[in-house]
Amino acid sequence: MTLLGIVVVIAGFALRFNPLLVVVVAGIVTGLAGHLSIVQILTIFGKAFVTNRYLPLFILTLPVIGLLERYGLKEQALALISKIEAATTGRLLILYLFIRELASTLGLTALGGHPQMVRPLISPMAEAAAEKNYGPLPEGTRNKIKAFSASADNIGLFFGEDIFIAFGAVLLMKGFFEQNGIILQPMQIAVWGIPTAIAAFVIHGTRLFLLDRMIQREVQGTAGKEQGKELNKHAY
């Protein structure tokens, strides 16, 4: 009977109900099937909420960012980047990559992220910088800029947090080595993450540096195709 919760999850996802609602209902069904009272079930939910308190904060981030976007967050970002003469898409993303990786080495992994930073700020600013320098962008180029914006966040976080001694992966490696008779301190493991982090920054920074040339070629290529189509129309 206690497996009824699994049935509820499968049925809820199959019928495409709200995932959060499905999980909550499945938890309640499982508790009732296990002869728990409503008070006991609510107590378990409360403890889970407190233990995983960062998850609700992440969920609350999305509506907050939505409200900020509705009241002009993206427009202000576009206006800001258009005033900076030296700003290009590549330079902007290199700067964000550096800040993201440096912050992650200090344990500030929440300083950035896709929903709260890349989607509302970094990606629109990168697109605005490209439009300022090269004019209207093809849809494929816009998608490529969005992908590079996301990659700057991912790489900066992934390789930066390996240097932070309290990061879970560092502690996991420490435990693994100890099980095999090798005693290492977290600082020793973190130090060996520095060369990898530097190499990741140099390699991806080079890709971001070359991104401006790629955008220019794509915009010019699209413009040339459009002109060719216009000339063909007039010829007929």
Q: What is the value of pTM for the model shown?
A: 0.67
Q: Is it the case that residue 204 has pLDDT exceeding 90?
A: yes
Tokens of 223: 């413009």
Spatial distance between the Cα atoms of 171 and 133, rounded to a whole number of angstroms? 46
User: CA angle, 150 as apex, 146 and 155 as ends, to 5°?
Assistant: 145
Instruction: Give 70's pLDDT tier (boundaries 50, 70, 90).
Output: confident
Q: Is it the case that residue 101 has pLDDT exceeding 90?
A: yes
Residue showing tokens 């296990």: 34
pLDDT at 36: 84
The mean pLDDT of 109-121, rounded to a whole number, is: 83
Residue type, 201: F
Spatial distance between the Cα atoms of 138 and 142, rounded to a whole number of angstroms? 6
Domain residue spans in the chain? 4-51, 74-235
How many beta carbons lie within 10 A of that of residue 158, not counting itself? Answer: 16
Residue type, 165: I
The mean pLDDT of 208-217, rounded to a whole number, is: 93
pLDDT at 201: 96
pLDDT at 12: 83
Q: Could you read off the pLDDT of 30-57 as tens digits, one per residue?
A: 888 888 888 888 888 777 665 555 455 5
Q: Is it the case that residue 97 has pLDDT exceeding 90?
A: yes
The mean pLDDT of 213-221, rounded to a whole number, is: 89
pLDDT at 227: 58
Query: Under a CB-based contact definition with an 8 Å cutoff, are residues 197 and 175 in contact?
Result: no
